Amino acid sequence: MPDAIVCIATALRCEAGPLIERYRLKRRLDISAYQYYQGEGMALIVSGIGKVAMAGAVAYAQAQQRANNPSIWLNIGIAGHPHLPVGKARIIHKIGDESGRCWYPPLVAKPPCATDAVMTVSKPQPHYPGNVLYDMEASAFYETAVRFVTSELVQSFKVVSDNLENPAGKLKKQQVNDLIAAQLEPLEAWIERLRALASDLTESPLPLLDEIQQRWHLTAHERHQVAQWLRRWQSLAPGQTPGPRDLPAANNARQLMHWLQQQVEALPVRLA
């Protein structure tokens, strides 16, 4: 199995700058739709601000990936918070959205820094109404990227850029660059732990997959989806994955995948 590709999405070029320099990423000059960079085992796309821009960029970046390479998706950027000091790094364990929807990225690998919740909004929030981080892209990033890979490999890393004492309106591009650059150490540790997790998930055997293939005659796309659900089950509940006798009497692959989704989503979320 090929090594996982780390796919990074940032909203701003100044958020991407330290990563481009650290990992010696080169811009793809044949791509004009986005600022898109590649290097050894890594790709980075700059989406622009907002949920629509981020969703489009993640989908575009996915289309650039080789089908035989597993992917890790990482959203890196700044966020506001009412009280946390500027410069603090946080890994996200809960993503909220103005629509009322929430997502809980499973943190199976131990985070190298504290975790927090983020609320994705369509406009800047100068008064920070809740005791959470605020950004404008995380929900769209997660909702889009999780379509392509198991959710354990879709994560967000945020650095506090503004708070009640340091308004976002005073931020300069160089300050944003410096804030991200100052947190490269925990960020690199997080990337390495996600690489190890991706390796475990892609290399661990799935004996049940062949049984399911024989029973329901899966297409290549269906087999990929079933494998994702089984790997997520395996990562959240090691040693408790189903056997052939546990499978439902589903009439088709669609019903089977619905059953798998229900079973996996009922498993408790692990916050490392």
Domains and CATH numbers, the chain: 5-200 (3.40.50.1580), 205-265 (no CATH)
Give the pLDDT of residue 204: 64
pLDDT tier for residue 271 given thresholds of 50, 70 and 90: very low
Give the pLDDT of residue 272: 45
Separation CA 118–CA 78 (nearest Å): 11
Question: Taking the alpha carbons of 245, 248, 250, 252 in that order, is the dihedral positive or negative?
Answer: negative
Q: What digits encode the pLDDT tens for the residues 137-182?
A: 999 999 999 888 888 899 999 999 999 999 998 899 999 999 999 9
Give the pLDDT of residue 60: 96
- Say yes or no to pLDDT of 1 above 60: no
Region for 103 from its dihedrals, namely left if φ exceeds 0, alpha if ψ lies in -120 to 50, beta otherwise: beta
- Say yes or no to pLDDT of 235 above 80: no
Q: Which residue has the tokens 């994702």?
A: 228
- Say yes or no to pLDDT of 68 above 80: no
Instruction: Write b or e for each residue in 245-268: b if 16 or more Cβ atoms lie within 10 A of its Cβ, otherwise e.
Output: eebeebeebeebbebbeebbeeee
pLDDT tier for residue 226 given thresholds of 50, 70 and 90: confident
Q: What is the pTM of this model?
A: 0.79
